[in-house]
Amino acid sequence: MVKKLLVVLLALLCIGPSTALIGLGAFMGPAGFCPADSLTVGPIPDQLTATTADGTQVVLEKRQLTHAATIITTGASIPGVGQAGVRVALMAALTESRLRMLANTGAYPESGSFPNDGDAADHDSLGLFQMRPAAGWGTVAKLMNPEYQSKAFYGGEQGPNFPSPRGLLDIPGWQQMDPGSAAQAVEVSAFPDRYRNWQPVADAILTALTTPAPSGGTGGGVVPETSRVGFPLPEGSYTSTDSFGWRIDPFTGESEFHSGSDLAAADGTPIYAVADGRVAVGEFSAGWGGLIVIEHSVGGARVASYYAHMWQDGIYVTNGETVAAGQHIGDVGSSGRSTGPHLHVEIRPGGQGQPPVNAVEWLAQHGAVPSDGTTGAAGCRANVGGGAR
């Protein structure tokens, strides 16, 4: 009986942002019971046994797992990669080299003078991802560096080869692609279907090498100090329709505490991260709908920002991902407990699970003045675009 009550309580606490029990709901919050994944690498085991999708058992040694750790930590440091991008990179490196740093002395004799895990002879390819100097990926010296190869694979505007050859971040819509297809889009292999066979092994590596993300608001390790604080929606795109504090809940008709600020905007309006930080939650739930939670460091203090009600395909970041202030992290939707397209935004000084404050006022106090000059007009529901979906 006690176990059933606990299950019901956990479900209720993860339902949504509106709660009549501010003392419990505001302090615990959904993230306290729905912990995010992490890209923090822990101790590297001496050996890992895993099974591919086709049932083949493989054994990875510590040297291979050390290269996997480099791929993970490099991805964690690049905005926009997240766990999904790291998974794709691991699948690619497992397929191309079995996570070995391979020289190619037949094509480049000098490659044998760099630290390596063996010699290969696949045309003129080198390293973990079997990249070709002739294709513009980099010099032999650069490509024999595991961190450089990882950065080259991830790509992006800050990548070493932008805009060509393309890394993962340069592939439009890679987040919505099958991970194997995303790997192929970077590698452009003559055997495009082989990458997805290694997804179970990549997942096993992530489980074995990374430590669980903390569920409390005061943990989580060091989050770099933000460079600036901005507003989560474009100027002139929204109307403040429901403020922070006690209100009449539009679903129950009862007085309940509203822990965030509702900003009505057209469906699909881009949502921006309010500050530099790390994604703690990027998921879909019944009450919040599409939810993103980002941990920041502002003025030396931990702060968590919450963004809710995106459609499931309107979430563009993943757990553990590092994001920049102003980065496009999702699109306005009307999922979960919502009466129309809008952004429910919360600010929680102290981090996840800590009491919320008036998000619009906090943003204004930190230099992100709302473009329409409001601080939360009276009202009880988002009213752009009609009723609940």
Residue 306 CA to residue 303 CA, distance in Å, equals: 10
Largest CA distance in the chain: 76
pLDDT given for residue 38 in this prediction:
59
- Beta pairing partners, 210: 41
Tokens describing residue 36: 């995010």
Question: pLDDT-based confidence at 286, cuts 50/70/90?
Answer: low
pLDDT tens per residue across span 115-135: 999 998 778 999 999 999 999
Grouping H, G, I as helix, E, B as strand and the rest as coil, residue 255 is strand
Burial (CB < 10 A; 0-12, 13-18, 19+), residue 379, is middle
Of the two residues 39 and 127, the one the predictor is more confident about is: 127
pLDDT given for residue 212 in this prediction:
54
pLDDT given for residue 219 in this prediction:
42
pLDDT tens per residue across span 144-168: 999 999 999 999 988 999 999 999 9
Least confident span in 37-41, 88-92, 186-190, 315-319: 37-41
Mean pLDDT of the chain: 81
What average pLDDT does the segment 233-246 reach? 86
Closest to 307 in 3D by CA, of 260, 354, 264: 260
- Return the percentage of the chain with pLDDT > 70, whole number: 81
pLDDT tens per residue across span 240-270: 887 787 877 777 777 777 888 999 999 999 9
Residue 237 CA to residue 282 CA, distance in Å, equals: 23
pLDDT at 34 over 60: no
Other C-beta atoms closer than 10 Å to the C-beta of 171 total: 17
pLDDT tens per residue across span 45-57: 899 999 999 999 9
Helices within 77-119 (DSSP H only): 82-97
Contact 213, 282 (CB under 8 A): no
Global confidence as pTM: 0.52
What average pLDDT does the segment 170-178 reach? 91
pLDDT given for residue 66 in this prediction:
93
What average pLDDT does the segment 102-127 reach? 92
Residue 65's φ and ψ, nearest 5 degrees, are: -70, -30
pLDDT given for residue 17 in this prediction:
37
pLDDT given for residue 352 in this prediction:
79
